[in-house]
Structure 1
Amino acid sequence: MKLFVGIDVSLQKLDVCFLDSDQNILDQPSLTNDLNGARAIKELVLKLSSATHYKRVVIGMESTSIYSFHPAMFFHEDPELNALPLDVVTLNPTMIHRYKGLFDEDKTDTIDAFRIADFLRIERYQVPVIKEEKYVALQRLTRTRYQLIHQMTECKQHFLENLYYKCNTLTQEIPTSVFSSSIMDILSDSLSLDEISQMNLEDLAARLNKAGKGRFSNPEKLAKVIQKAIRDSYRIGKVLQNSVDVVLATYARIIAGLKKQIQTLDKSIESLYAIIPEAQSLMSVPGIGPVYTAGLLAEIGQIDRFDNEAQLAKYAGLYWKVSQSGNFQAERTPRTRTGNEYLRYYLIEAANSVKRCDPVYRAYYQKKFNEVPKFRHKRALVLTARKLVRLVDVLLRDHLIYTPKGGGLADNQ
């Protein structure tokens, strides 16, 4: 006889169903999602176990982002519960959703908890290896960095959109990035376009040189290009120009602030490398720098959580389902839409970088690129990322240092 404890986790509640192997519902409490609620579940598990001596106790819940983290860790780390033959399982919400769809019934938290327990009863789950604290800490940093990068990209797009109102030819003319601090200082300054265009060339060059802290090799040439771009651009009315100037200055401050926060995160990420030695294995691959290394390690955690590289690829969503019936075998197999989107993002971005630096991956990408007439880059890049999964798996699993083709893999011991 086994005991299955299904927990439907939400922000405020833990709806629980205690179910045995004979499908008897032993209890269905609704508790608070806090330490008191978790302790109440624990006491009920211990009480039922002492009375029946279950062969195994399985506590399961959907992996609902931050809401399920604390309950799962509490049950996993509690010494009294771990004295029992216990499994703590976090389930893919998609699996539970599909399982619930088999039954024509209402949608309530109590029923959801029962169906989670019922799903555990048929034992179609895998007991995950809980990610160690250092990887969770790294994940908090890398996911925040990911979000800030996307915010900064969006801010830059809005900055360029408003810059076009002010000076529509500038981005086409200047030989440097519009987002360099010196250029943004000039564009978001209180000076009007006419004032900049009529400034003495030496004065504008000096202003650029000061803003750029002497990094421009030829500030006079840059000043001349800016003035020409301004003269060639359309003019807008004073009222609209004032509004655009305010918007540009606002986005300039936001972008500068985001850059500063990203630098702070990068320092914190770098400090965690000291306690994650396998970071050196990924850093040895040409094209995988500190950012991609941190992102991959944060999402993968300890590699022993996965039985093999195929399981790791499936976790990342780099997996194609086979479609076969009788003598029919589908030629087109779409990629699954599930998986860890952050890990998939870092693998694809890393693959794009590695193919530029490593001839083996460049040749593989080109081969896949030439195989089809449509969606060539996207398809080839995703397949290259799938190939990269095999390398990442062997480097992390065997603690190896990557060497280019012909040199083999060096031991990192």
Structure 2
Amino acid sequence: MKLFVGLDVSSFDMKVCVLDQEGTTQDTWTVSNDLPGATMLKQRLLDLVEDTDIHTLKIGLESTSVYSFHPSMYLHHDQELKRYGAQVFVMNPKQIANFKKSYTEMNKTDEIDAFVIADYLRFGRNHMSIVKESQYVALQQLTRARYHLIKSVTREKQHFLQHLSFKCNTFSQEVDSSVFGHAMMELFLERYSLEELAQLPLEALAAFLQEKGRNRFPDPEEVAASIQRAVRSSYRLEKVVEDSLDVLLGSSIEIIRSHQKQIKEIDKTITRLMAGLTQTIQSIPGFGPVFSAGIIAEIGQIDRFEDETKIAKYAGLSWRKHQSGRFTAEDTSLSRQGNQYLRYYLVEAANSVRRQIPEYQEYYQKKYQEVPKHQHKRALVLTARKLVRLVDALLRNHQLFTPERGVKH
């Protein structure tokens, strides 16, 4: 006998619907979304399958952030359910929503949603469980938090540049040095007005940059001169406006530095966890522990995927096909679905790998030259798609990377 259990999970409760292989409803009930509720759910499932010849027991629920995490992990690891071969599937809500469209005139209620999830399982459309083991979950929390911090730093840098353009509109054109370097940021924190910077002796400004830049400027006098050229050619603002921009620049600097400090702490923890995890993709030049962690945390056990094409699709590194009759479009868009975290770490890793491995650099250059627009972005995404094949081979075959043959046992 086959049983399919659909769970519609919210922050408060879980609606349960159990179907057999014919689609007949065996039972429905509601439990709270907490440990006592999950325990009650498990016990009721055990009572249902007791003295029954069960050879398939599938439990499905939608991926709803933290709401689905705890019940899925609880049911996945329960030893009593495992005796009946229970499998837990956490599914993309979009897949369930699309499947539900096949039903006509169906209302939107939690009980009906639980039925649809169970019926989706019954039709066998689920190909893998994305319930991960504890070590992958721990890494995933860290790498996802790091991803959001990186995005926050990027946004804050954009705000910083906008404020800087208001204060000194020619700074970016005149000064050939990163505004996000330590010395430059210290200069902005001093809250000099444009007139003060224009009147500051060149030797004093150069000495300030050299001290704060820890003697890393090859020609501090030239950088100081370019700053003063930018200051003298920029529009002047009213003092009240300039003072407000100084406050905003200082605030952005503090936020950027705070986030960068947090990223470093997370990187240290990731490196520590990766040291105790057996994996092979870190042997790829340019990967390192952080990119490796970001990728394996989202992939989990490689056996969940049939082949590398499934991994690419899961990451959103796939292109939609557009075909009608004898016409097949050559220019198609990248799928906007998929795991954004896995896609981010694969693309970042590809950008690093292409600088280390000639084969990937040649492939990147080839794709870069194929189009006149969005060259870097397109070439990088295609390089990431190529990298998926290597990642899959190393993880699936437990092999290490070697430059001569790509992989080795």
Same fold at TM > 0.5: yes
Distance 2:219 2:191 in 1: 24
Aligned to 1:338: 337
Q: Which residue of 2 aligns with 1:29?
A: 29
| 1:170-190 residue CA offsets vs partner (Å, 9 max, x unmatched) | 222223211112211211324
Compared CA separation, residues 160 and 376, structure 1 to 2 (3 A) = closer
Distance 1:162 1:231 in 2: 18
The residue matched to 1:145 in structure 2 has which SS?
helix
**Equivalent position of 1:273 in the other structure:** 274
Q: How many residues are paired up?
A: 408
2-structure distance, mates of 1:75, 1:350: 34
1:133-144 mapped onto 2 (5 Å cutoff)? 133-144=134-145
Q: Distance in 1 between matches of 2:306 and 2:106?
A: 36
The answer on whether the counterparts of 2:305 and 2:311 sit within 8 Å (CA) in structure 1 is yes
Match of 1:293 in 2: 292
What residue in structure 2 maps to residue 392 of structure 1? Answer: 391
Q: CA deviation at 1:40?
A: 1.3
Going from structure 1 to structure 2, the CA distance change for 1:199 and 1:153 (only over 3 Å counts) comes to: same
Partner of residue 241, structure 2? 240
Change (3 A) 1:366 1:180: closer
Instruction: Mark the CA change 1:179 to 1:112 in structure 2 (over 3 Å): closer, same or farther.
Output: same
2:56, 2:85 within 8 Å by CA — same for their partners in 1?
yes
Q: CA deviation at 1:234?
A: 1.3
The 1:321–1:199 alpha-carbon spacing in structure 2 relative to 1, beyond 3 Å, is closer
Name the CA shift for 1:333/1:38 in 2 (closer, same or farther; >3 Å): same
Structure 2 vs 1, CA of residues 49 and 334 (structure 1 numbering), >3 Å: closer, same or farther? same
AA aligned opposite 1:257 = S
CA spacing shift, 1:51–1:140, aligned 2, 3 Å: same
Give the CA deviation at 1:12.
Answer: 1.8
Q: CA deviation digits over 1:14-70, x for unaligned, max 9?
A: 111122234332332222111111111111101111154433222111122222111
Shift of 1:388: 1.2
Q: CA deviation at 1:359?
A: 2.5
Q: Mean alpha-carbon deviation: is it higher for 14-23 or for 150-159?
A: 14-23
TM superposition shift of 1:78 = 0.9
Alpha-carbon distance in 2 for matches of 1:195, 1:319: 54
- Work out the CA distance in 2 between the residues paired with 1:271 and 1:17: 43
Q: Is the 8 A contact 1:309 1:390 kept in 2?
A: yes
Contact 1:16 1:29 in 2 (8 A): yes
Does residue 252 of structure 1 match 2:253?
Answer: yes
- Correspondence 1:11 to 2:5: no
2:156 maps to a residue whose letter is: C
Partner of 2:73: 73
Question: Given that residues 88 and 131 in structure 2 are in contact (C-alpha distance below 8 angstroms), is that contact kept between their aligned partners in structure 1?
Answer: no
CA deviation map 1:235-288 (0-9, x unaligned) = 10011111111111111111111111111111111111211232xx33333333
Change (3 A) 1:142 1:360: same
Secondary structure of 2:286's match?
coil
- Measure the CA separation in 2 of the matches of 1:199 and 1:128: 65
- With 328-337 and 177-186 compared, the bigger mean Cα shift is at 328-337
- Cα distance in structure 2, aligned partners of 1:155 and 1:300: 30
SS state at 2:87 partner: strand
Distance (whole Å) between structure 2 residues aligned to residue 29 and residue 312 of structure 1:
36
Q: Counterparts of 2:204 and 2:331 in 1: how far apart (Å)?
A: 63
What residue identity is the alignment partner of 2:268? K
Aligned-pair RMSD on alpha carbons?
2.3
Q: Normalised by the size of structure 1, how large is the TM-score?
A: 0.90
1:28 aligns to what SS in structure 2?
strand
- Distance, in Å, in 1 between the alignment partners of 2:12 and 2:167 is 50
CA distance in 2, matches of 1:367, 1:179: 32
Aligned-partner Cα distance in 1 for 2:376–2:206 = 42
Moved more, 49-58 or 158-167: 49-58
Contact 1:88 1:127 in 2 (8 A): no
In structure 2, C-alpha distance between the alignment counterparts of 1:410 and 1:100, rounded to whole Å: 44
In 2, the alpha carbon distance for the partners of 1:14 and 1:38 equals 9
Gaps of 5+ in 2: none
1-structure distance, mates of 2:59, 2:394:
33
Q: Gaps spanning 5+ residues in structure 1: where?
A: none
- Matched position secondary structure for 1:161: helix
1:80 CA displacement: 1.4
Which moved further from structure 2: 254-263 or 173-182? 173-182
- Deviation (angstroms), 1:127: 4.1
After superposition, give the CA deviation of every residue in 1:321-365 in whole Å (9 maximum; x if it has no partner).
Answer: 555566555545544332212112222232233334322223333
- Return the alpha-carbon distance in structure 2 between the equivalents of residues 144 and 57 of structure 1: 34
Residues 141-175 of structure 1: CA deviation (Å, up to 9, x unaligned): 11111111111111111111111121122222223
Does structure 2 conserve the Cα–Cα contact (< 8 Å) formed by 1:56 and 1:85?
A: yes
Point out the more displaced range, 369-378 or 293-302. Answer: 369-378
* Aligned CA distance change for structure 1 residues 361 and 97 (closer, same or farther; 3 Å): same
Q: In the alignment, is the contact (CA less than 8 A) between 1:6 and 1:116 conserved in 2? A: yes
Change (3 A) 1:322 1:171: closer
Q: 1: distance between equivalents of 2:179 and 2:314?
A: 39
* Distance in 2 of aligned mates of 1:192 and 1:370: 45
Q: In structure 1, what residue type is equivalent to 2:73? A: M
Q: Does 1:171 align with 2:172?
A: yes
**Number of the residue aligned with 2:405:** 408
| Structural mapping, 1:200-219, within 5 Å | 200-219=201-220
Letter in 2 for 1:28: T
Give the whole-Å Cα distance in 1 for the aligned partners of 2:87 and 2:144: 28
Letter in 2 for 1:212: G
- Indicate the SS of the match to 1:115: helix
- Relative to 1, partners in 2 of residues 1:339 and 1:190: Cα closer, same or farther, differing over 3 Å? closer
CA contact (8 A) 2:4 2:20 kept: yes
C-alpha deviation, 1:77, in angstroms? 0.8
Q: Which residue of 2 aligns with 1:121?
A: 122
The 1-side partners of 2:373 and 2:174 are apart by 34
